[in-house]
Amino acid sequence: MTEFLTPQFWTGLMAIIGVNIILSGDNAVVIALAARSLPPAQQKQAIMWGSGAAVVMRIILTIVAVELLRLPYLKLVGGVLLLWIAVQLMMPEEDGAHHAEGTVGFWGAMKTILVADLVMSLDNVLAVAAAAKGSVTLLVLGLAISIPLVVFGSTLLLKLMERYPVIIKLGAALLGWVAGEMFVSDPLVKDWVDANAATLHWVGPGLGAVAVLAVGSWLAARVLARRPALVELGAPAAVPPVAPAPGLLAAGGAAPFNRILLPVDASDNALRAVSYAIGLWRKHPAPSAMDVQVINVQRELSGDVSRFIPKESVTSYHRERSEQALARARKLLDEAGVKYHAHTFVGKPWEVISDFAAKVASDLVVMGTRGLGSYTGGMLGSVAQGVAQLSKVPVLLVK
């Protein structure tokens, strides 16, 4: 009973829940995508049975891992492996990533779910076992709380991680912290650390977290530098040349905006930006001379997902989500009679939006300050802030 009253217990419990939620996002995507081609009734069965079998398998593997980590050297090896896993968590999918072949039928989907979870759970199992620090009570309680969150709240968790990408970096830092703890608590060095360098119990985890963020950010930047700036889903929409109408001026003598770029998602804030753009179109001296480009950018899935899900399924998943995100904006523009071209991309939203604005020679980018991945309150959202910093085109932010 006294174990429940110690700060170490509650710190470990929070770490287990956090690690399990962060590292289970990819598993949830694989389960959803593996079952999406099945009939609705079989989809539910595949998700239910696949998730249940995966949970049982993960619990067994984690208990085994807790016992193994009591042996000398294994925490040192596990710490190195966990650092690598943490860095990989921050990496985008490479263009040349291998994609699995398509699955056929219910049992094909079940096989994909189980094999993927077995392979992808290594990081989860190792991190949770390390965070438990040998306490089976802590392990069981942490898994009992976090697994239902993952199984029943996977869609919400994915949306949260997409909307607040900083969660991924925090999760990677948490893994680095746990790896640092593993290095200084291995039976081979623990007694020496306790006797001669007790501060390493805090310095070691801190260095692990900092190292993961530094190395992960550097490697991710290198990967992104090697790939095309714009990866459009499907055939690119035509972008006709637009020349300013001679002699036409807006009210007050200012030159009108002839080409507007509208980055949107399904948020209400994005719709307010669309309404503002419609207002600019209505005030234009020659609305037919004004070109509106609407863009939605989907964040990439982890490279782990592509190992088990066919490329066509991943592309279909992105395209479906993009169409859902564009639907409300399309409706407003259609009802107003505005002619526009819609584009869907995959990548980092702020970089894609900035690059596309330059590519199509936009006069103005109109976007909401929230939605589109914002993670701050009164300040600009992460995407809006990124576009405002990167774009060479004027950016108008609508609250």
pLDDT in tens, 197-255: 888 888 888 998 999 999 988 888 787 676 666 667 765 555 555 544 444 444 444 55
Residues 174, 303 share a domain: no
Per-residue pLDDT band for 376 (boundaries 50, 70, 90) equals: very low
Residues 255, 221 share a domain: no
Last-in-domain residue among 225, 241, 263? 225
Q: What is the pLDDT of residue 195?
A: 84
pLDDT > 70 fraction of the chain, expressed in percent and rounded: 71
According to DSSP, residue 102 is labeled P
Per-residue pLDDT band for 375 (boundaries 50, 70, 90) equals: very low
Residues 161, 18 share a domain: yes
Residue 237 lies in a domain: no
What is the number of structural domains in the chain? Answer: 2
**Range list of β-strands (E), the chain:** 259-263, 291-298, 340-346, 364-368, 395-398
Residues 27, 64 share a domain: yes
CA atoms within 13 A on the CB side of 64: 8
Residue 22 lies in a domain: yes
> Is the pLDDT confidence value at 179 over 70?
yes
Reported as a single tens digit per residue, the pLDDT across 316-342 is 888 888 998 899 999 999 999 999 999
Diameter of the chain measured on Cα atoms: 83
Domain that holds residue 202: 2-225
Torsion of the alpha carbons at 124, 130, 134 and 138, rounded to the nearest 10: -60
Among 53-57, 132-136, 269-273, top mean pLDDT goes to 269-273
- CA–CA distance, 199 with 209 (Å, rounded to integer): 16
Which residues lie closer than 8 Å to 104 by C-beta, 6 or more apart? none
Residue 391: phi and psi, rounded to 5, are -70, 135
Per-residue pLDDT band for 5 (boundaries 50, 70, 90) equals: low
Residues 337, 302 share a domain: yes
Residues 302, 159 share a domain: no
Which tokens sit at 134? 């040998």
Across the range 291-298, mean pLDDT stands at: 92
> Is the pLDDT confidence value at 90 over 80?
no
Beta partners for residue 342, in sequence order? 294
> Is the pLDDT confidence value at 104 over 90?
no
145 and 128 Cβ atoms separated by less than 8 Å: no
Pick the closest to residue 182 from 211, 208, 214 (CA basis).
208
Residue 210 lies in a domain: yes
Q: How far apart are the first and last CA of the chain?
A: 51
**Rounded to two decimals, what is the model's pTM?**
0.65
Q: What is the pLDDT of residue 136?
A: 75
187-196: long-range contacts, CB 8 A cutoff, minimum separation 24: 187/70, 187/71, 187/72, 187/75, 188/72, 188/73, 188/76, 189/76
Residue 67 lies in a domain: yes
22 and 128 Cβ atoms separated by less than 8 Å: no
Reported as a single tens digit per residue, the pLDDT across 62-85 is 778 777 777 888 888 888 887 887
